């Protein structure tokens, strides 16, 4: 299991479009991925409703946990997505 | 009767109301006669069908609508939702009831979160309605399609609706819900549709009522008399004439030239900007080259992109902003440390200076592109706070072969010392968004202090005036490249304060061009004085609006 904590780069946080890009990538990775805010519950990162319902804002720190083959590669790709500002 | 909301854009529209159909009734709670497995299969088929339909609509619509529709398709097949539906089915519920309840639960969660998330609730409601309709074999709720032009009145429009709306028939949009960041508002801005969102009393409007939509004043007149209709028609005709008017260079009524430039984020928007009469580019953002990459692009890669852009503007001015990273746009390879106050942190020129190789590479790529094209390239640094930083950037740019180098005025300290800054810089360009944020000490990303983010504030205008005066004294150009330049009346005030060019999103050019042509330089200065004399942003706007109404264009 690989884990990393990153800060959200998108100016409006992880809502519609960035959330879509992220969950698509998580679902497409083939690995089991969860995302959580500090001290909050972890949700399935392939669930757009789960991700949106965390109410993740710009600058928030979130923790990704990846289980499966290539966990490190998947973690790297997903972290990069979260760091990027998709709103500009 | 006048109904109030939030107007999008500057337009006026008159037409008959057509209301969007009311939502489907809530599915009854009666127990299912089928087994949970059978109901589960019904739900799976319906969810998949709705997801496929939304994806197909997205493909047809393209653009930003496609993203939203694809997000909705993912909501329909969301694993968390499916789990929730399965649990509800095990209680003996029908597929209709179980999916309705599952969507409603997520919807309530979003509404509770407020703000941007609450506005996404409409997306979810729309998916829920489509699934219930699919299960019952009913047509999906959607926008009406009458055979005449109409003003659409809805609670809020879902992306699935707006994407396929027949825009030739839609004269305007009124929504009772939805704020300035709702899909309706985004669509209206993108397609230049006259719209007023958040009209709480819109429920009182009936099919066939003739109404006047006045987006510029955020008003709906629900029972206009003959006089109001004539006045509105005149305004519509005036605006149409303006859009059709031959596009000339920006100028005041007395002939004083005020070049109107476009703000661009990449080369793709260039052709359209030229079509709308942009006389050059006043702000070319270069972040797009860097975002999403974990390392900086090479000199060659950058040079290619800059060349592509500069070719579109042969013989015209293009002001390129050096990489503006930090605060709202962090980049992994530049901003690695966490900051408590990123807007006040290592951003803009500060970040570039800390990574001077990167700055040198960018300036070199730009100078190379400049050498192989015919555009007139100017370069400027973002987030400059001191005269010393100005000297540093300007001399580095000159050294690397760029002839015209200047600074963005976003920090009040730079505006206050504008005479000393402009002694070194070849020009200044005022970024009104950040200048407002720093002058009023209000984070522009924070909704709770959004009320402070108004460039009409006399304190902001006073700083603009300082830069304008220094520019005039030293014979150096002073441009404006923030949202403020796109406000037709504020644009006149900015020119009155000494701005020599205005840069804005291309869609605002026609309205600003028309507004400038109504006033002489002397009148623009009078309006600027009226704004400076006010106590706050709202009273400055009112004072200038009143003063402008009393001025007539000299014959």
CB pairs under 8 A between A and B: 77
Contact of A83 with chain B, judged by CB distance below 8 Å, is answered with yes
CA separation for the pair B393, B390 (Å, rounded): 5
Residue A62 phi, psi (nearest 5) = -130, 155
Q: How far apart are CA B366 and CA B302, in angstroms?
A: 8
Average pLDDT value for residue range B145-157: 85
Helices assigned H by DSSP within B137-224? 159-163, 183-191
**A22: CATH:** 3.30.1340.10
Rounded Cα distance between B415 and B418, Å, is 5
Is residue A9 domain-resident? yes
pLDDT at B402: 97
What CA–CA distance (Å, rounded) separates B186 from B43?
Answer: 32
A59 touches chain B (CB under 8 A): yes
As a whole number, mean pLDDT of residues A45-62 equals 86
- Show residues of chain A in contact with B329, CB under 8 Å: 9, 11, 85, 88
Q: How far is A38 from chain B (nearest CA, A)?
A: 16
Q: What is the DSSP string of B266-303?
A: SGGGHHHHHHTT--EEEEE--GGGTTT-SSPPPHHHHH
Q: How would you classify the pairing of strands B260-264 and B501-504?
A: parallel
* B525 against B159, higher pLDDT: B525
Assess if residue A58 is contained within a domain.
yes
Share of chain A above pLDDT 70, in %: 95
- Contact flag B79-A53 (C-beta cutoff 8 Å): no
Over 50: is that where the pLDDT of B555 sits?
A: no
The yes-or-no answer on residue A12 being catalytic is no
Binding-face residues of B in 74-93 toward A, CB within 8 A? 74-75, 78-81
List, for residues B370-413, the tens digit of each pLDDT value.
999 999 999 999 999 999 999 999 999 999 999 999 999 999 99
Can you tell me the mean pLDDT for B531-549?
Answer: 92
Count of beta carbons in the 10 Å neighbourhood of residue A21: 19
Closest residue in A to B78 (Cα–Cα): A47
For residue B226, pLDDT over 70 is answered with yes
Q: Count of residues for chain A? A: 88
Whether the Cβ atoms of residue B89 and residue A60 lie closer than 8 Å to each other: no
Q: How confident is residue A68, by pLDDT bands cut at 50, 70 and 90?
A: confident
Does A44 contact B at CB distance below 8 Å?
yes
Alpha helices in B120-201, H assignment, sequence order: 121-136, 159-163, 183-191
Q: Is A51 on the interface with B (CB under 8 A)?
A: no
Cβ-based neighbours of B275, under 8 Å, separated by 6 or more: none
- Show the domain range for A60: 2-83
Do residue A19 and residue B71 have CB atoms under 8 angstroms apart? yes
State the pLDDT at residue A84. 79
At residue B360, φ and ψ (nearest 5 deg) are -60, -40
pLDDT score for B328: 53
Q: Measured between CB atoms, does A3 come within 8 Å of chain B?
A: no
Phi, psi angles (nearest 5°) of residue B214: -120, 90
The two tokens of residue B11 are 């337009």
Contacts of B91 (CB under 8 A, 6+ apart): none
| Residue-wise pLDDT tens digits, B190-213 | 667 888 988 888 888 988 899 999
Max Cα separation, chain A?
33
Percent of chain B scoring above 90 in pLDDT: 51
Catalytic residues of B: 183, 481
Residue A87, pLDDT > 60, answer no
Which residue, B227, B126, B123, is CA-closest to B181? B123
pLDDT in tens, B458-499: 999 999 999 999 999 999 999 999 778 988 899 999 999 999
Residues B492-505 as b/e (b if ≥16 CB within 10 A, e otherwise) read: bbbbbbbbbbbbbb
Q: Rounded distance, CA B490 to CA B499, Å?
A: 11
Position A88 in a domain: no
Question: What structural domains does chain B harbor?
Answer: 2-18+148-242 (3.50.30.10), 36-136 (1.10.274.10), 258-550 (3.20.20.60)
Closest by CA position to B487, among listed B508, B460, B473, B503? B508
pLDDT band at B181 (very low <50, low <70, confident <90, very high): low
Contacts of A77 in chain B (CB under 8 A): none
Rounded CA-CA distance A52/B103 in Å is 13
* Neighbouring-strand partners of residue B263: B283
- Burial class of residue B292 (count of CB atoms within 10 Å of its CB; 0-12, 13-18, 19+): middle
Query: Could you tell me the two tokens for A36?
Result: 């959580």
Beta carbons of B125 and B158 less than 8 angstroms apart: yes
Residues B353, B346: Cα–Cα separation, whole Å: 10
Q: What are phi and psi of B32, to 5 degrees?
A: -75, 145
- pLDDT tens digits for range B71-99: 899 999 999 899 999 999 998 999 999 99
Nearest CA in chain A to B111: A53
| Contact yes or no for B120 and A52 at CB 8 A | yes
Kindly state whether B338 is in contact with chain A, defined as any CB-CB distance less than 8 angstroms. Answer: yes
From A23, A59, A15, select the one nearest B329 (Cα to Cα).
A59
* Position B294 confidence tier, pLDDT thresholds 50, 70, 90: low
Q: How many angstroms separate the CA atoms of B510 and B186, rounded?
A: 20
- Pairwise CA distance, residues B467 & B421, whole Å: 9
Question: Which residue in the block uniquely carries the two structure tokens 């930083």?
Answer: B389
Partner-chain contact A49 B328, CB within 8 Å: no
Tokens of B53: 């339909």
């Amino acid at each position: 299991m690989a884990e990393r904590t990153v800060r959200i780069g998108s100016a409006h946080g992880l809502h519609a479009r960035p959330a879509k890009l992220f969950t698509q990538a998580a679902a497409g990775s083939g690995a089991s991925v969860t995302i959580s805010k500090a001290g909050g519950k972890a949700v399935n990162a392939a669930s757009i409703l789960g991700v949106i319902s965390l109410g993740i804002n710009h600058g928030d720190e979130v923790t990704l946990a990846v289980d499966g083959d290539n966990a490190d590669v998947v973690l790297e790709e997903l972290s990069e997505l979260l760091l990027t500002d998709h709103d500009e | 009767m006048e109904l109030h909301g939030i107007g999008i854009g500057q337009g006026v529209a008159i037409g008959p109301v057509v209301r969007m159909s009311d939502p489907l009734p809530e599915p009854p709670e009666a127990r299912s006669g089928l087994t949970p497995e059978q109901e589960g299969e019904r739900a799976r088929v319906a969810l998949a069908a709705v997801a496929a339909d939304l994806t197909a609509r997205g493909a047809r619509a393209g653009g930003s609508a496609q993203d939203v529709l694809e997000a909705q398709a993912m909501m329909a097949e969301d694993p968390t939702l499916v789990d929730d539906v399965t649990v509800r089915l095990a209680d003996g519920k029908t597929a209709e009831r179980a999916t309705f309840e599952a969507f409603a639960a997520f919807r309530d969660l979003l509404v509770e979160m407020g703000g941007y998330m609450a506005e996404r609730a409409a997306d979810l409601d729309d998916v829920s309605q489509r699934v219930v309709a699919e299960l019952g074999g009913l047509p999906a709720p959607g926008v009406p399609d009458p055979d005449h032009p109409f003003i659409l009145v809805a609670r809020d429009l879902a992306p699935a609706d707006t994407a396929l709306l027949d825009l030739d028939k839609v004269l305007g949009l009124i929504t009772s819900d939805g704020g300035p960041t709702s899909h309706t508002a985004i669509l209206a801005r993108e397609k230049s549709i006259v719209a007023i969102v958040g009209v709480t009393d819109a429920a009182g409007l009936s099919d066939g009522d003739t109404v006047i939509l006045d987006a510029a004043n955020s008003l709906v007149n629900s029972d206009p008399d003959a006089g109001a209709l004539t006045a509105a028609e005149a305004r519509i005709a005036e605006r149409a004439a303006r859009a059709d008017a031959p596009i000339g260079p920006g100028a005041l009524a007395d002939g004083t030239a005020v070049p109107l430039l476009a703000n661009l984020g990449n080369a793709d928007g260039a052709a359209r900007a030229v079509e709308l009469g942009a006389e050059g580019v006043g702000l070319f953002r270069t972040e797009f080259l860097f975002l999403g990459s974990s390392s900086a692009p090479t000199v060659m890669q950058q040079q290619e992109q800059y060349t592509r852009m500069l070719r579109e503007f042969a013989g015209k001015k293009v002001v390129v902003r050096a990489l503006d990273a930090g605060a709202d746009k962090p980049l992994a390879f530049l901003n690695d440390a966490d900051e408590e106050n990123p807007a006040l942190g290592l951003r803009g020129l500060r970040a570039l200076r800390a990574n001077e190789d990167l700055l040198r590479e960018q300036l070199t790529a730009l100078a190379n592109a400049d050498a192989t094209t015919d555009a007139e390239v100017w370069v400027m640094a973002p987030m400059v706070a001191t005269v010393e930083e100005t000297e540093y950037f300007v001399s580095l740019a000159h050294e690397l072969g760029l002839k015209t180098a200047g600074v963005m005025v976003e920090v009040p300290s730079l505006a206050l010392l504008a005479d000393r800054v402009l002694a070194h810089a070849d020009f200044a360009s005022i970024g009104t968004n950040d200048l407002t944020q720093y002058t009023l000490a209000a984070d522009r990303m924070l909704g709770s202090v959004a009320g402070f983010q108004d460039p009409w504030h006399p304190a902001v205008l006073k700083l603009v005036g300082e830069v304008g005066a220094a520019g005039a004294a030293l014979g150096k150009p002073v441009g404006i490249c923030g949202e403020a330049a796109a406000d037709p009346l504020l644009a006149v005030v900015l020119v009155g304060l000494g701005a020599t060019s205005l840069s804005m999103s291309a869609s605002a050019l026609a309205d600003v061009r028309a507004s400038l042509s109504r006033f002489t330089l002397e009148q623009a200065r009078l309006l600027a004085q009226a704004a400076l004399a006010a106590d706050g942003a709202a009273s400055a706007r009112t004072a200038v609006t009143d003063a402008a109404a009393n001025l007539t264009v000299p014959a």
